[in-house]
Each structure stands twice: as C-alpha cells, then as structure tokens.
C-alpha cells in the first residue's frame, strides 16, 4: 500500500515501511501507476491529483464536521488519531492542535523553523543567526542568538505547555523541537498511521 502526504514543499511517501520525499517542484505524480492513498494541503497540486484516477484522496472519507472549513487536511488527519494531546506538527509551518477527550478544541499556526529563520534575516542581516535549540527557556536572554531563539521557541513553548496535555511531536523538524519539548512523545508516523486507520474504517482495501 502506497501512502502520500502532500505538503507545501514535498510529497512524503510511505511504501510499506520505507518513507521518502519528492520535491513539489520537480516530481510528476503521473509517473506513479499504482494506487496511492493521499492527503494534500497544496491547492494547486490537489487540483492536478484530482484528475488522476489512481490517486485516492482520503479527505473524502473523513467526517470533517468537528473541524473548520479551511483547516488543513493534514491537521485534521493528525487530530483523528489522537484522543488527548497537543499535536505539534513541525513542517514548513508549525501547526498546533489541541484534542481533549477526543474533541478538537482548536489550534493555531506558527512559522516553521526555516521560514522563521528567513524572516529574521530578511528584517536585518544583524539578525542572521542559527536558532539555539538548547537555550535555557527559564532565562530571558542577554545575547543576540538567544534573543532570536527565545522569541521563536520560548513563545511556542509557553502556549503549548499551557494546555496541560501530553505533547505529541511530528513532522520533518520534530527532531529540532525535541530539545524544547524533552518530555514530548515523538510520533513521526502519526499522519501515516492515521491514514491507515481511515483506509481501514472506510474499507478501501
């Protein structure tokens, strides 16, 4: 069974237990002839996939009533797999969603690590620093690298922890955020596992 999570920058495939990525810029989905079960947050790509008979959009098999209309399908699929937790999905954007007792409470969107890094650099070259993921979140900084890192990471940390639920990390940059959330549960395959459950529930194969 071939699964694919299409994001803003890449096609993320899972072929049995082997996962790999293809760039949204260079990859042609027509080159795949077998059946692909997918979700897609990129509106342009979604339109082109709609035209391909072997690409099955799992969004059509989910009850989206508990969520909101413009909510990214990746966030919905992640929430579907969680009973209690704050899901932090670190991709080109970081999405944070709160699920309590199986009920979606709401969520927010924050820039991904590369996007935020570019933001600071574009404001001024004086703000061109790598983030320090090992910074001490209890101390308000007195150096430039930590002042930027704190502005990005501590502010995210405060809000995530405020919900007093287990933190579930997923997405390509989850490894970086593990330093900030050392007690978080890392579920790199959260989306794919949820997609498998949806396929099973809808009896698609």
Does 110 contact a second copy by CB under 8 A? Answer: yes
Stretch that binds a second copy, among 28-36, 120-128, 180-188, 193-201 (CB under 8 A): 120-128
CA distance 154 to 148: 10
Nearer of residues 25 and 126 to a second copy, judged by Cβ: 126
Does 148 contact a second copy by CB under 8 A? Answer: yes
Nearer of residues 67 and 181 to a second copy, judged by Cβ: 67
Residues contacting 114, CB < 8 A, separation 6+: 92
**Adjacency order of strands within the sheet including 167-170:** 103-111, 93-100, 85-90, 167-170, 185-186
Helix (H) or strand (E) holding 99: strand 93-100
Q: How far is the CB of 106 from a second copy (least distance, A)?
A: 3
Q: How many Å from the N-terminal Cα to the C-terminal Cα in the chain?
A: 9
Near a second copy in 63-92, by CB under 8 A: 67-68, 70-72, 92
Nearer of residues 62 and 98 to a second copy, judged by Cβ: 98
The 3-state DSSP class for residue 74 equals helix
Q: Among residues 33, 60, 134, 142, which is the contact residue for a second copy, using CB under 8 A? A: 142
Near a second copy in 28-47, by CB under 8 A: 41-43
Contact call for residues 87 and 71 (beta carbons, < 8 A) = no
Near a second copy in 185-204, by CB under 8 A: none
Near a second copy in 156-185, by CB under 8 A: 156, 158-159, 162-163
Does 155 contact a second copy by CB under 8 A? Answer: yes
Q: Among residues 141, 176, 178, 189, which is the contact residue for a second copy, using CB under 8 A? A: 141
Q: Which tokens hold the place of 125? A: 């070259």
C-alpha dihedral sign at 106, 170, 18, 13: positive
Residues contacting 200, CB < 8 A, separation 6+: none
Does 154 contact a second copy by CB under 8 A? Answer: yes
In the numeric block, the tokens 């959260």 are attached to: 190
C-beta neighbour count of 186 within 10 angstroms? 15
Does 102 contact a second copy by CB under 8 A? Answer: no
Stretch that binds a second copy, among 12-20, 28-36, 148-156, 164-172 (CB under 8 A): 148-156
Nearer of residues 180 and 196 to a second copy, judged by Cβ: 180
């Amino acid at each position: 069974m071939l699964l694919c999570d299409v994001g803003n920058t890449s096609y993320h495939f899972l072929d049995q237990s082997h996962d790999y990525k293809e760039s949204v810029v260079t990859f042609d989905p027509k080159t795949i002839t077998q059946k692909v079960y997918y979700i897609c947050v990129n509106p342009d790509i979604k339109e082109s996939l709609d035209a391909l008979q072997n690409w099955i959009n799992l969004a059509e098999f989910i009850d989206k009533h508990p969520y909101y209309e413009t909510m990214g399908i990746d966030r919905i699929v992640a929430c579907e797999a969680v009973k209690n937790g704050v899901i932090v999905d670190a991709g080109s954007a970081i999405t944070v969603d709160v699920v309590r007792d199986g009920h979606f409470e709401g969520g927010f969107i924050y820039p991904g690590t590369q996007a935020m890094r570019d933001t600071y650099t574009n404001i001024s070259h004086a703000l061109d620093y790598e983030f320090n993921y090992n910074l001490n979140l209890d101390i308000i900084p007195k150096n430039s690298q930590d002042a930027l890192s704190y502005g990005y990471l501590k502010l995210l940390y405060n809000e995530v922890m405020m919900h007093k639920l287990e933190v579930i990390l997923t997405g390509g940059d989850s490894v970086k955020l593990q330093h900030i959330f050392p007690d978080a549960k890392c579920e790199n395959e959260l989306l794919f596992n949820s997609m498998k459950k949806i396929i099973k529930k809808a009896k698609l194969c």
